[in-house]
Structure 1
Amino acid sequence: MPNHTTNYNLIKPLPDEFYNVEDQNDNMEIIDAQMKAREETLTMHLDKDASLSQKGHVQLSNSTNSNSENLAATSKAVKQAIDFPQKFGLGAELIEVTSDFNTIVKSGFYHAKGENRPNNDALRSFFLLVNAISETSVLQIASPYQESDNIFYRSSDYTGWSKWKRIANSDDILFGNGSPEGVIIASVGTLYRDKVNGTLYSKKTGVGNTGWRALTWV
């Protein structure tokens, strides 16, 4: 009795058996049927595009701004998407530096000490955000470590660095009903907002309750 193959049960004549054409034809029919079935499966697979709900073929793409749900991003596109925000200091790790702030001109997040920091503060460290278009066109935003209510900023151009300026917050502005003139005692530079009509005042002179001037915009 002949043997049979494991997968498709093809007839395998024994060495002492005569060649049987009918057995050979049966084998060829089995092989033909299996090849045809695989051809049809492959054709169906080639004709099917991948989607969110089914497997299939996808087209690779280097695009970093496509909304397609049928294209697959290449490694190059993924790298570009990751690298782009880091040019503006986003998604980057905090960098420890001890150097002159004037030399920190590469976009990124820094934990920084050094010369030319806000208010010439020689003791505290600063969280420093740098957004740089070039080495001579830079914006720096700095906040002393553990003092998020004190935020300073400055910028540079081809003429050099501007002075550090403190960003005002709600604690820097006094509020009240009506004009502060003759009512509110404050130091020069204090801001006051009239809650009745929204007018903003600035203390221009003196140390008492006079010297307030309403701010106007053209």
Structure 2
Amino acid sequence: MKTMYKAIANSPSTQLATAISDTDKTIELVDGSVLPDAPNLAVIGIGETAETILYVEKNGNILNNVSRGFQGTAQAWSTGVKVARNFTAYDHDAFKENIETLNQQAGDIENLTTVEKSNLVDAINELLTKIGETGSLTTDEKSNLVAAVNEIKQKFTAHLADNEKHIAPTERTSWNNKQNALGYSPLNKAGDTMSGNLGIDNAGPGIVLNYNGVIKGNFYYLAGDDCLYLFNRDGASTYRGGFRFKPDKNVDIYDGTTYRKIWHAGNAGPFYVGLGSPEGVVTASVGAIYQRTDGAASTTLYVKESGTGNVGWKAK
């Protein structure tokens, strides 16, 4: 952003105490107190031939390290020529450029909140009070100042009632691309994949299928490449629980010391547990196994050896 130099109310003037050439870097004034502290601008002379200078140091009535012809043409001036902190073309250009820069950094002005707009209006009004009385300005300076103020006023008039929260262009792009603050695209709720580990810190159900806004009795469902399915469903007055695994896949059962494997080729019968003999009671396919919890010797384990209904069970 361009440097903006402090103005002084009413733009009081002083005069050159001594004549200067067009290359002098030190200038003596009659009353240096009428100019703002360094660094700052001052205008020597009046009208179209005036010269704007930039002084880096001010010691009493002496200006040192002066940049001659900062605007306008450096030239020789005689004793008694007027010197004042007038509003310059540089002030106008810096004022306009800095506002445009701030507008780009903050986003479009229509996206500012009411409070942000109010703060910006206060800042502009404060800046205008520092410019000084317009009576000390030339016709061109007044025209430039009016043009700059009108440009800003038009933007505020058009958007002053807009209360929407501003977001910067880069933020808007990120949200439009559905990216979070880390730059990662979030998972698509309609179907997507993810890599890495997933931890669910929740007391169940952690994963729910067929979700329609109502949890159906803690329906859990997990699956992997070896396909051990765990599920627990309670819907339509029916509670079911169990696990499944694909044929020709080993599933380990681990008690903390020993691994025991379960394997089947796809035609294994189900396992049943119950009271009493299954014969004539439990319908199953050939190969099913039944554990009788109240059995005795040779009547605890049954195997379905034949039949398609509830007969064909043999105790082992």
TM-score by length of 1: 0.36
Question: Which gives a bigger RCO, structure 1 or 2 (Cα 8 Å, sep 6+)?
Answer: 2
| Structure with the largest fraction of strand | 1
TM-score by length of 2: 0.27
